[in-house]
Amino acid sequence: MTIKKAVIPAAGFGTRFLPASKAVPKELLPIVDKPTIQYIAEEAIDTGITQVILVTGREKGSIEDHFDISFELEHHLKAKGKEDLLKLVQEISDMVQIVSVRQKTPLGLGHAILCAKQIVGNHPFAVLLADDIVDANPPCLRQMIDVYNKIGKGIVLAIKEVPRDEVYQYGIIDGERVADRLYRVESLVEKPPVEEAPSNLAVIGRYLLPPEIFEVLETLPPGKGGEIQLTDAIARLSEHFPVYGYQFEGERYDAGDKMGFFIANVRFGLKHPELGPRISDFLIKIAEEIKEQV
Ligand code: UTP
User: Can you spell out the DSSP letters for 188-231?
Assistant: EEES--GGG-S-SEEEEEEEEE-TTHHHHHHHPPP-GGGS--HH
Residue range 162-180: mean pLDDT, rounded: 94
Question: Would the CB of 103 count as within 6 Å of ligand 1?
Answer: yes
The answer, yes or no, to whether residue 26 has pLDDT greater than 80, is yes
Calculate the average pLDDT of the chain. Answer: 93
The verdict on 83 and 150 lying in the same domain is yes
Residue 243, pLDDT score: 97
Q: What atom of ligand 1 comes closest to residue 227's alpha carbon?
A: 28
Residue 1, pLDDT score: 64
Give 76 Cα–ligand 1 centroid separation in angstroms: 35
The verdict on 158 and 131 lying in the same domain is yes
The verdict on 145 and 272 lying in the same domain is no
Counts for the chain of helices (H) and strands (E), in that order: 11, 13
The verdict on 276 and 160 lying in the same domain is no
The verdict on 128 and 178 lying in the same domain is yes
Contact in structure between 241 and 208 (CB atoms under 8 Å): no
Residue range 121-144: mean pLDDT, rounded: 96
Question: Would the CB of 60 count as within 6 Å of ligand 1?
Answer: no
**Nearest of 68, 128, 125 to residue 98 by alpha carbon:** 68
Domain of 32, in residue numbers: 5-256
The verdict on 189 and 291 lying in the same domain is no
Q: What are phi and psi of 131, to 5 degrees?
A: -120, 10
**Pairing of the two strands 97-102 and 51-56:** parallel
Give 12 Cα–ligand 1 centroid separation in angstroms: 4
The answer, yes or no, to whether residue 88 has pLDDT greater than 90, is no
Q: What atom of ligand 1 comes closest to residue 56's alpha carbon?
A: 25
The verdict on 91 and 189 lying in the same domain is yes
The verdict on 243 and 288 lying in the same domain is no
The verdict on 246 and 275 lying in the same domain is no
d(CA 116, CA 277): 42
Give 40 Cα–ligand 1 centroid separation in angstroms: 14
The CATH number that applies at residue 110 is 3.90.550.10
The verdict on 186 and 285 lying in the same domain is no
Q: Per the structure, how many domains does the chain have?
A: 2
Residue range 199-226: mean pLDDT, rounded: 95
The verdict on 231 and 203 lying in the same domain is yes
The verdict on 195 and 265 lying in the same domain is no
